[in-house]
Structure 1
Amino acid sequence: MDAAVLREDMVDGLESPPREVLTDETVAIAMRDVPRHVFVGDERTAYADREHEILGTRVLAPKTTARLLQALSIEEGESSVLIVGVGVGYTAAIAAELAGSRNVHAVDIARPLVFEARANLHEAGYDEVLVDRRDGADGLPEYAPFDRILLEAAAVEPPRALLEQLSDDGRLVFPRGTHRQRLEAVSPDGGRERFGSVSFDPLLVEGEQPGAVERNRTAREDREHARRHARSRRGWEQEWVQWEETIDS
C-alpha cells in the first residue's frame, strides 16, 4: 500500500475512537506529511501504533509522539525548538514541519544515534535540522534561547541549563518522575501544566549509552542539587574547618 495512504490511516486512527489522542489539526497535518517509514526502516509496521527499538533506543509510538507535540504547542513557523534526545529523528521531523527546519535543533548523547538521525532527516528532506552530539542536560547554549524545548527522557526535575535556555515566554515539556511519570510543561516563571501518564527511559548522563545495563539517572541530579546547595551557602559555611590542635594524652 502507498505510504501516504498508510500515514492517513495512522492519523485517522489517532483522531478517532477509541484512541482520540490527536486533537490538534496542525500536528495532525504534520504527522500526515512526515514519512515515518524512513525513520523506522520497516514500511510494513512503520505506521502501526506501536514502538520500535533501533540502536538501543525506543522509537515512540505515534500516539505518544502526538501527545508530546501537542503539549509542546509549537507556533507554526515562528518557534525556535530544541529536541533533547533526538533518537532516530522522527519527532524532530514533525517539529520541523511545524516550525520550519531551520528553527529546529536537536541533540543526543549517543553518537550512533546522532549519525542515524542526520541520515534519516536528510533522506526525509529535513536537511536544515541541526543535530549534534551533546549531553542532553547541557542543552545547546550556542543557539539559545529556545521558544520550545522537548526533553524525550524522564527526570525528576528539568535540568537547570535547559530552563536557562528558554526564552522569556518559552515552554519546556518533559516526563517528570521515576517509575510513575507524568508529562509536564514548565515555563521560566515556574508555571506548570500537567498532562497524562507516560513511560520514558531516564535521561542519560555523560559516559552512558542507550541499552546499558544500568542507567544512573540520579548521578546528574545529585551533582546539580549539590551545586545549588553550595551556591545557597554563605560565609563561614563555605570554609573548611581545620582541626590542627592535638590533645596530649
Structure 2
Amino acid sequence: MDEASLRADMIEGLEHQIGETLDEPVLTALQRVSRDPFVDDASTAGGETVRTGGSGGTGDRSLAPATVVRLISALDVDEDDEVLVVGAGVGYSVALLAEIAGARRVHAIDIDREAVAIARSNLSTAGYDAVLVDCRDGVNGLPEYAPYDRILLESGVVEPPRALREQLSEGGRIVYPRGTAVQTIAAIEPDPERVASDRAPDDDDAPAGFRTVATGGPARLQPMLVDGEQRGVERNRTRREDAERAEQGHFARHGWEQDWIDWDDRI
C-alpha cells in the first residue's frame, strides 16, 4: 500500500478514535506532511506512534497520533499565526503546524540538545527546514521572537510557566496537557476581566488572568523538566565536570604543564 493510502487510513482511524471530524486545516496538514521521518518502527497496541522529545526537556517518549491531533486542533492555528512549540521532540507536531501557519512563522525549542538535532534533521528531510529549532529551557520560552499568537506545550504542567504566559499576544492561546498523573488537554486565553484576580474561579484551573476556553481528551505526556534533568545530563556537577575533563583527555588544558607537549608526536 502506498503512503497516500496509509495516510488516508490513519486519518480515518483518527477521526473514529477521537469521535469527530477533523477541522480542515488539521486534515490538510495530516494529508501533506510525510510521517516517514518521524515515525517509530516499534508498534504499540494503539498502532503506530510518533516519537517526541522534551519540552522543558522530557526525554524520549511515544506520543499517539490522536494526542497530536487533539493538541493541534485545540491550538486552532490560522495561516500566518506566530507559533511557539515548547518541546520540539522529533518535529512531527512542529511540521504539522508549519504546514498550517507557514514554516517561517513556527518556532520550536527543547532543552535536550539531541532532540533539537533530531528535530532539525527530520524537519529538513520533510521539507520544513525554515522552522527555527533552538536549544532552550522551556520554562523561559523564546522571548526573542515574542509575542506569539499560539503556544503549544508538549509536557504535562499544572499551569504554563509565567514567561510563556507573558510571551503570548493579546488574544492568543496556549494549549497544554493540564495535570501530572492525570492530564486533560486544555486551551487557555487571556481574560481582561481577571487580570487583577489572585486565583481562578473554583470551576476553572486556568492561571490568574486567563480562562479555559476548551478542553480535550485525556493525555499522557511526561512532566516538564528543568535544566539539569534532561536525558544524558549528570545532575551532580562535580561528577559531570570530572566526566567532561576525562573525555577531553590530553586536549584539556590544565595549566602550564601542557606547554611542553610535543604535538608532532601527538598527531
TM-score bracket, shorter-length normalisation = 0.7 to 0.9
Where does residue 137 of structure 1 map in the other structure? Answer: 139
Give the deviation of 1:209 after TM superposition.
1.3
Q: Of the candidates 71, 81, 90, which is equivalent to residue 88 of structure 1?
A: 90
Where does residue 51 of structure 1 map in the other structure? Answer: 49
- SS of the residue corresponding to residue 167 of structure 1 reads strand
Where does residue 27 of structure 2 map in the other structure? Answer: 28
1:18 to 1:94, Cα distance in 2 relative to 1, 3 A: closer
- Structure 1 residue 5 and structure 2 residue 8: aligned? no
Normalised by the length of structure 1, the TM-score is: 0.78
Where does residue 173 of structure 1 map in the other structure? Answer: 175
Partners of 2:50 and 2:84 lie apart in 1 by: 23
- SS of the residue corresponding to residue 229 of structure 2 reads coil
- Larger RCO, structures 1/2 (Cα 8 Å, 6+ apart): 2
One-letter code of the match for 1:147? D
One-letter code of the match for 1:51? T
Give the deviation of 1:196 after TM superposition.
2.4
1:212 to 1:200, Cα distance in 2 relative to 1, 3 A: farther
| Residue pair 2:107, 2:133 contacting (<8 A) in 1 also | yes
1:54 to 1:64, Cα distance in 2 relative to 1, 3 A: closer
- Structure 1 residue 61 and structure 2 residue 61: aligned? no
Number of corresponding residues = 210
Partners of 2:182 and 2:85 lie apart in 1 by: 23
Give the deviation of 1:65 after TM superposition.
0.6
Show structure 1 runs of 5+ residues with no match.
215-249
Normalised by the length of structure 2, the TM-score is: 0.73
Q: Of the candidates 117, 124, 127, which is equivalent to residue 119 of structure 2?
A: 117
1:145 to 1:10, Cα distance in 2 relative to 1, 3 A: same
Detail structure 1 runs of 4+ shifted over 6 Å in the superposition: 211-214
1:18 to 1:90, Cα distance in 2 relative to 1, 3 A: closer
1:22 to 1:36, Cα distance in 2 relative to 1, 3 A: farther
Over the residues paired in the alignment, what is the CA RMSD in angstroms? 2.3
Partners of 2:39 and 2:74 lie apart in 1 by: 23
1:210 to 1:71, Cα distance in 2 relative to 1, 3 A: farther
Identity %: 51
- Structure 1 residue 192 and structure 2 residue 212: aligned? yes
One-letter code of the match for 2:123? L
| Residue pair 1:10, 1:49 contacting (<8 A) in 2 also | no
Deviations 1:47-100 (A, max 9, x none): x7443557741242111111001000001x220000000100000000001000
